[in-house]
Amino acid sequence: MDYNARGQRGTYLLGYGPSRLIAPAHQTTVRLAGDGKSLSIARYHPRLDYISVRIQALPGGREVGRTAIRPDQSVIDVRGFRAVIGGSSRGGLLWDAPSGTRRLKTGIIHAADIAADRIAYFHRDPSRGGCTRVATLTRPRAVLWASCREAVVAFSPPGAC
């Protein structure tokens, strides 16, 4: 969070020219992609009860894609121009911003790493006995690991111990 010369609070894109407001502070989440090539900006619209998500290329801030998601969803991970959207009991999405392609994934996604090709999801509501499962983004139904006692918070970088 930062302030500009006029005292406007928000997140700013800094480059070779003057800084530019990319997201007001109110009800907005900005996430830098793991590869540094883009950022996602998710903004809640209370009157219409939805979240608008856009991905902007870096440097410069050119908009690559825009979509709308439900208020019970959030952007979990961003890499390049793709984002994993999770948090909903109706499943998660792997969204490709340039093409607008949205693929449904299984379960309530709560952790993801596009670079490592991994997602962690609850196969049903965790407050009702749902267990966590780890799978690949490319084959989400092929479970690599599961536990009803532990949950995944994050994935280590590829090759890390």
How is residue 150 annotated by DSSP? -
| 54 within 8 A of 62, measured Cβ to Cβ | no
Structure tokens belonging to residue 109:
């996604």
* Record: fold of 30-147: Lipocalin (2.40.128)
The CA distance from 120 to 48, in Å, is 30
Q: What is the pLDDT along the chain (161 residues), one digit of tens a residue?
A: 444 444 445 554 545 444 455 555 457 888 889 899 999 999 988 888 899 999 999 888 899 999 999 888 899 999 999 999 988 777 788 999 999 877 766 788 999 999 999 999 998 888 888 899 999 888 888 899 999 998 898 898 765 54
Q: 114, 113, 131: which is closest to 122 by C-alpha?
A: 131
How is residue 118 annotated by DSSP? E
Domain boundaries defined on the chain: 30-147
Q: 73, 94, 72: which is closest to 83 by C-alpha?
A: 94
